[in-house]
A and B are shown apart, each in its own frame.
Chain A
Amino acid sequence: MSAPAAAISESTAPRDPIAVYRDDGVIARALGRVGARVTLPAPVLALAGFAPLLAVVIAEGGGASDGVAAVVLAWALLTVGASAGARGRPKLVWGAVPIERLTEYVALIWIAALHGESAYPAAYALLGALAFRHYDLVYRLRHRGVVPARWVSALSLGWDGRLVLAFVLLVAGTLPAGFYVLAAVFGAAFVGEAVYGWVVVGRVEQPLGDDEEDDEL
């Protein structure tokens, strides 16, 4: 398959599913290479980033200054990003995923709060678009053994890139419109590519192997 064709079609090589679920971007993957040298287990490292964020969110709420927010978010990005490559006990690696997701969503809601209450509906729209991607990553891998096309994953920026972009949008004073635009772009790209994958690529309906029934309720 030529390089351009590969870029618009879904990638078939399902790697480690936990690595897929993490939804890491370029920054987090680079940090992960550094984190590989840290001996702490991945969830501990991720928690070291999320705990200060949560503490500041509770203490300061929407009243925190941009400077404080920048420091707290940068620290979360650094540590949670490093957890992408953290070794520790392999049985524990799964534990970093929910913390990483919690970090991203809480940070986005907080960035909306820093702008003011009027940004909450926009934050909800953005979270909705991201939730679609995060479920799609899991369900597509489970039902068809593929991950979304490379261009969507590049466009999605990964959780790390989205945090940086959201903070830039806040500082630039573009909220809540910025979040709405982001939600619309992401939503259209994520849903469109998923539907394209089903309709064009996966048109032949394969019967379901019975080990693939839904487990979550």
Chain B
Amino acid sequence: MTSGLSDTRAAPDASTIPAAQPAAIGVAVVLATALASDGRPAALLPWGNGTVVGRLAEQLADLGVRAPLIVTRPGFEAVVREAVGPAAAVRVAASVAEDLRLIARAARDAAGQVLVMSGDIVTHTDALEGVIANPHAGTRILAGGRRRPLAFRFQARRGRLVSAASAYHAVRSPNGSFLGILRAVPDDVEALATAADRLAPLVADAPEAWQDELDRKAARWRAAVTRAAADDEGGDDFAGPDEPEPADDRSDEDSAPVALSDADEASWRVRVAAAPEDAVALLLVGLVRAHVDVTPIYLRQLFWARPLSADAAVRAAERITHYDVDRLLLESAVKSADGFFTTFFVSPYSKYIARWAARRGFTPNQVTTVSMLLGVLTAAAFATGERWGLVAGAVLLQLSFTTDCVDGQLARYTRQFSKLGAWLDSVFDRTKEYLAFAGLALGAHKMGDEVWVLACAAITLQTVRHSSDFAYMAAAHQVITVTPQTPIEQPLDHAGVQAEARRTARTAGERSAPAKRPLASRILSRWSRLDHSPSLRWVKRMAAFPIGERFAVISITAAFFTPRVTFIAWLAWGGVAFAYTQTGRILRSIR
């Protein structure tokens, strides 16, 4: 990661998870408990000739989960049984507390992984696959961006959840939303069951603080329902793909009561009534509060909805057919946090090369090797010290860079990941760049210009810049590991409690002068406000001088000028980038 101020760690997507082995799901619990506007479980809403939950059961069966446990409310067991077919087992639970106890029992009895999900979810099988079908990574959830005001949200840092919301739990500064699917690995199953046991008596008789939190959410959702209706989304399904990048996160708290139309009022009531039924969200909070590592698997471009009315189900069915999943998988194979040059000049066509390579049966490691060979040829061409050599080297370097992008996209598209491949890719990237420097210095020597000291400066600057990236990331990771968690009875997360304490201190009106925030903190908050400006996003990414920009500078200056110009331009941009990223990191560290 080279961007100093924005933590844009590329998180995995639902569609890019290796699916080498069938899912080892011990038990899958599907909750058909939340009620739709017609007073029946939303899972029973019509889908084609069947129901939403019937479709889900088929999708699960496709992914190797053949006998899910469907939980519903008394009176609906017969209809649910008919909807899901004979393979699934149907259980009845009268309340959320009973849901939780049932989940705890089922989890402890099961051998293997535990899947808990809402039964009224409409999404692609590929999205489910990302959460269900990878036996190697840890406990995970299906996640969306934060622009889903009606979903429960979470805060993730560096690919791990640090806080999560339920009907009764709040997240301060959310940056994603929970899409109702949770998969726990065997190591975390006991923690899941324990959380369910602890939560059951609490939800049976919700503490006052919990009730207050639900009221606050209900008030916030009033505004969200109108906004969703205005977006032609249907206020009740909080559906759709993720928004690319939120422009801002309006604080909806403490806003005046919103007047709703009758239809909106009705859908708002349905949403609020469904919220406390969401045992999956409660379990997620339980896990996060118990310091369990939970990884969000992002939906990104794919479609997801939880319809709570027949109309919404029809709309979801209409919208999901417009998604070209193969194209979206290919799009998702492109890294989301790449630099400007890579995103706009390489990825648009390299992904088609990746698809071609996939169809021809090339492996990512073969492509990586080709890229490395092109890198060696680049250095050899530069080393000739002739104009044609510099031009040829410039072209070869770009070819090498394109193939370098192809290998990663091919790996993500065909889901062939390997540790050796990742190591080779990383090591070869550095080797290509440093060989190019050596080639340029040799070429310059033949042209009668000694630039070896500049080459030494360049390798030093780049190695030092990377060492800062690595050490800073390691430090940030350690900080997250020790992020404190509040007990499950507390609606607020740790950051929320701290903010509350600050607010109380302020209103207590202590006579001392208002506490000044440290200078670093003030500069940083101003800086991060710039962060959210979409027009500056690419400027900031370019300022960090990522690999695409570095290779472009080398190619352009070498082809048209001399190696000395190349080194000076490269060092100038790299020096600015180093100063820029270091400043951001130091500010973050001392705040």
Contacts and interface: CB of A to CB of B under 8 A. Distances in A.
Interface of A: 16-18, 21, 89-95, 97-98, 101-102, 105-106, 109, 112-113, 117, 120-121, 123-124, 127-128, 131-132, 134-136, 138-140, 143-144, 198, 202, 205-217
Interface stretch (B299-307, B380-388, B449-457, B552-560): B449-457
Contact of B459 (A102, A124, A209): A124
Interface residues of B, number: 69
Contacts of B160: 211
A124 B438 contact: yes
A164 B149 CA distance: 60
A101 to B, nearest CB: 5
Contacts of A113: 453
Nearest to A109: B456
Nearest to B434: A128
Given A209-B137, A212-B422, A128 B438 contact: yes
B212 to A, nearest CB: 34
Interface of B: 1-2, 9-10, 12, 16-18, 20, 134, 136-138, 159-160, 295, 297, 338-339, 342, 408, 417-423, 425-427, 430-431, 434, 437-438, 441, 450, 452-453, 455-457, 459-460, 463-475, 478-479, 544, 546-548, 582, 585-586, 589-590
Given A128-B438, A128-B459, A136-B427, A210 B419 contact: no
B159 A21 contact: no
A91 B455 contact: no
Given A93-B475, A138-B470, A143 B338 contact: no
A209 B460 contact: no
Given A101-B464, A210-B137, A143 B441 contact: no
A94 B463 contact: no
Contacts of B437: 124
Contacts of B582: 98
Contacts of B463: 101, 105, 127, 131, 134-135
Contact of B134 (A127, A131, A206, A210): A210
A105 B586 CA distance: 22
A70 B419 CA distance: 44
Nearest to B411: A208
Contacts of A208: 18, 417-419, 421-422
28 contacts: A21-B470, A21-B471, A90-B475, A94-B471, A94-B474, A94-B475, A94-B585, A98-B464, A98-B465, A117-B450, A120-B453, A120-B455, A124-B452, A124-B459, A127-B459, A127-B460, A132-B431, A135-B426, A135-B430, A139-B426, A143-B422, A144-B423, A207-B136, A209-B136, A211-B137, A211-B138, A214-B408, A217-B338
Contact of B9 (A97, A127, A215): A215
A60 to B, nearest CB: 15
**10 smallest beta-carbon distances between A and B, as pairs:** A120-B452, A217-B546, A97-B471, A94-B475, A210-B12, A208-B417, A94-B471, A98-B468, A105-B460, A215-B1
A62 B247 CA distance: 53
Contacts of A101: 463-464, 467
A60 B347 CA distance: 47
Contacts of B590: 89, 91-92
A148 to B, nearest CB: 13
A216 B441 CA distance: 26
Contact of B419 (A123, A132, A143): A143
A216 B466 contact: yes
A92 B589 contact: yes
